[in-house]
A and B are shown apart, each in its own frame.
Chain A
């Protein structure tokens, strides 16, 4: 039976982790390679890096991080943030990323999703959707949530599937950082609309939220950042909890 995946996400800025794991035995708390290794050794099903480097001159730092990480972690590695072109994708894959997650550029140019999934295969193209509730609908935002688009998130999800996305990473902007749980309605609406896997993101504050994301949100995978940082919960605890609730996980 296919297992539900738990994916810890690390925010990387200028090649350094921001908001990382605060373990005492860490040699260098800002080293993304070391943190990714802790997660993969701890049973993470995949690792996700979100590059939030703002300045263009430091954008190359992520390539080095990916290259080093892929030589130490032998679970799938997804990298997102600032991907604009086929060339960006090619570079990340060559450095050892297994998948890339495309956000703003996919909204601006759906052809990028079409072309890249044809060139590299759907399996490595994840489309990231940042959505915010507006009445009974959800609207897509771009540029790290700064720009509204007026695009309906559920329609957009379907369109991205048709363009060749292999997975959708859906983040509720209303919930992100709040620790009150995923936006279950958004997740389940998108998940039932598309036939590709949905990764739920945004809002996890406890282990029960992971359960809700899978059970009620019908997500194939759950992504979380802060509950795994600062040692609040380990990946192992999360898996044992889900297992005890009857959710299939890799233990």
Chain B
């Protein structure tokens, strides 16, 4: 089996690479690539994302054929894909960071700024927070409810269909921190930075 981590030159993905390699050991091949042929032929895809919604979508669109390839992989062929942080946010129809920006449109909804309640809550939401698991997601196998995950973000994904939400976290309000829609998975938190429990989520995804 091989897993492709999409390297579309947006943000720092070395921690994602390190964590997947740590979990995969020699059993699974981890490929870091923006080559659309390699992505097409892989069994699973990881879509990381750092920086703003706009900078990430711009970078994705900047690589010829990449968005089409991801669409084919996740929507037509229904192969497993994991979006992390802005990688998850890009599943939405529209993002409202900097300017209104079109997303991948895989999961209907929008990405908006967390309400800081007039300065009561500091942004970014940085640090360890508990997740409330709402439904059995396959990537949460052996993960306990109220586990701590590491977050760094100022924007939240607001999907229209609440049934795809697999976990929420409380900061200012209960916001979405994990989704599962068929073969598409996403986490707002960073499993690659969430210690052993985060590595377990990565392990679950690799072993889907």
Binding site for B on A (CB under 8 A): 1-5, 40, 45, 70-71, 74-76, 93-98, 120-124, 166-167, 195-197, 220-221, 250
**B195 and A196 form a contact (CB under 8 A):** no
Binding site for A on B (CB under 8 A): 11-12, 14-15, 18-19, 21-22, 50-52, 116, 119, 122-130, 148, 150-154, 170-171, 192-196, 198-199
Given A3-B148, A75-B150, residue A123 in contact with residue B126 (CB < 8 A): yes
A74 partner, pick from B12, B171, B195, beta carbons under 8 A: B195
Residues of B contacting A: mostly: mixed
Contacts of A221 in B (CB 8 A): 127
Closest chain B residue, CB of each to CB of A199:
B126
Contacts of A1 in B (CB 8 A): 129-130, 170
**A74 and B126 form a contact (CB under 8 A):** no
- List the count of A-B residue pairs having beta carbons below 8 Å apart: 92
**B127 and A5 form a contact (CB under 8 A):** yes
**B193 and A76 form a contact (CB under 8 A):** yes
Instruction: Give me 16 A-to-B residue pairs in the complex whose CB atoms sit less than 8 angstroms apart, sorted by A's number.
Output: A2-B127, A3-B129, A3-B148, A5-B127, A5-B128, A70-B18, A74-B15, A75-B195, A93-B12, A94-B12, A96-B14, A96-B15, A124-B12, A195-B119, A196-B124, A197-B127
Q: Give the complex CA separation of A133 and B178 in angstroms.
A: 45
**B12 and A40 form a contact (CB under 8 A):** no
Given A40-B195, A93-B14, A98-B193, residue A120 in contact with residue B129 (CB < 8 A): no
Contacts of A75 in B (CB 8 A): 150, 193-195
Contacts of B122 in A (CB 8 A): 195-197, 220
Given A3-B148, A75-B150, residue A45 in contact with residue B130 (CB < 8 A): no
Contacts of B128 in A (CB 8 A): 2-3, 5, 45, 250
